[in-house]
Amino acid sequence: MLNRTRVSSTLKRLRRCLGDALFPAKCIGCGQLFHHDAGALETAHTGGLTHAAGWIPGLALHFCPGCRGQWTAVASPLCSRCGLVFKSRQGEDHLCGRCLDRPGAFSRARAAGIYDQSLRMAIHALKFKGWVGLAGPLGGLLLDTFRRYWASGDIDVVAPVPLHRRRFHRRGFNQAHLLVRRWRLPGETVVVRDLLVRTRATAPQTGLDRRQRRTNLENAFSVSRPGQITGKRVLLVDDVLTTGATVNACATALIRDGAGRVDVLTLARAL
Ligand SMILES: [Zn+2]
Ligand SMILES: [Zn+2]
């Protein structure tokens, strides 16, 4: 007698393959049409990460096989505080010149990959084209990075970097929140969506130098419920870390209002 579960999964696979043959996907990276390979279709629904295969299953549906390998995971040697990836690929992690000169309000920042190539394209598609379906696999990559650098119990509160109300309404979502929305965290760690509020609309940071970025963001953030963070270890989450001015302004507000320590996690790190 035929196993019903096996028949139904074979039918499902057949339907997916037929659909794929008729409607190829468009690659987010290079714009070419491509057919999903069986591996991408199979693993796309498992929810797990397969870094060994070079890419994240859910994202494999949106990138052709050629573009999937086009991203660089962050690896040592890097700045032990801000996570800056050193050009020289020799030696141990150590503090970069900027952190030695002027350590900011956060204690440690880490990222999954370099802000370049396919990872940059995936973040752009999520943020500017509204492909919110990418938030699942990208959030999985972020969670995987979180587990790599922080032990269970190291963080009390996970807080997405907020958008100003006006930008939020224009975009319809806060990408930083979408990335952590589905996280299941052990113990007491909680995700607090609106811990930080952007009280002032600021000019876009693009095109500003480091100092202008800092001034642009002064007093732009406030903590919605300061009592909730007294002595707590907070993890700030965002999509990209460029100069660190945004997360530093958030961390300053959190520390001022009583947080014990602030760390930072982003999907990508600009070089
Ligand atoms: Zn491609
Ligand atoms: Zn540094």
Please list the residues that pair with 222 across neighbouring strands: 197
First vs last C-alpha separation in the chain? 59
Q: What is the 87 CA–ligand 1 centroid distance (Å)?
A: 27
Please tell me the predicted confidence (pLDDT) of residue 24.
86
Q: What is the 71 CA–ligand 2 centroid distance (Å)?
A: 22
Please list the residues that pair with 109 across neighbouring strands: 264
Total-model pTM:
0.85
Quick one: tokens of 106?
A: 């956060």
Q: What is the 115 CA–ligand 2 centroid distance (Å)?
A: 17
Please tell me the predicted confidence (pLDDT) of residue 14.
67
Phi and psi dihedrals of 199, rounded to 5? -85, -15
For 267, the 3-state DSSP assignment is: strand
CB 62 within 8 A of CB 25: yes
Question: Cα separation of 214 and 245, whole Å?
Answer: 5
Q: What is the 122 CA–ligand 1 centroid distance (Å)?
A: 12
Candidates 236, 249, 237, 175; CA nearest to 210 is 249
Q: What is the 179 CA–ligand 1 centroid distance (Å)?
A: 23
Please tell me the predicted confidence (pLDDT) of residue 39.
59
Please tell me the predicted confidence (pLDDT) of residue 51.
44
User: Using one digit for the tens of pLDDT, what is the confidence trace for 136-190?
Assistant: 999 999 999 999 999 989 999 999 999 888 888 889 899 999 999 999 888 889 9
- Low pLDDT (below 50) residues in the chain: 43-53
Hey, CA dihedral for 253, 254, 259, 264, is it positive or negative? negative
- List domains and CATH numbers for the chain: 7-68 (no CATH), 97-269 (3.40.50)
